[in-house]
Amino acid sequence: MSIRRNLKKQALGVSQMAMEKLLADEKRAMAVAQALGSVQRGKQALDRGQEELMRALSFATRSDFKAVGKKLSGLKRRLRELDERLEEIARE
């Protein structure tokens, strides 16, 4: 087994034991869950604020890039399909 894989396995084992001990107490588990929920809500609020600011400054937002990426993927797929059809027609 490689050193990297062995270290990764050991680190995973240690982190798993730490999480088990941390979450063994129900009060701590609830506190961790609430903290994670707060962090997630904070990130969502930050993302919304960032998107509003980007739109106010007339910059492209992350969602704009995702939408363009999806459209581009669809166009690439359609182009491949048309290319294949043209090759079939050329062979006939």
The 10s digit of each residue's pLDDT in 41-69 is 999 999 999 999 998 999 988 889 999 99
Alpha carbon distances (Å) from 24 to 15, 38, 39, 66, 77: 14, 21, 22, 40, 50
Return mean pLDDT, the chain. Answer: 93
In this prediction, residue 1 carries a pLDDT of 66
Q: What is the dihedral of CA 52, 57, 62, 68, to 10 degrees?
A: 120
**From CA 61, how far away is CA 69, in angstroms rounded?**
12
pTM of the model: 0.54
Does 90 score more than 70 pLDDT?
A: yes
Would you say 28 and 22 are in contact if contact means Cβ atoms under 8 Å apart?
Answer: yes
- pLDDT confidence band for 13 (50 / 70 / 90): very high
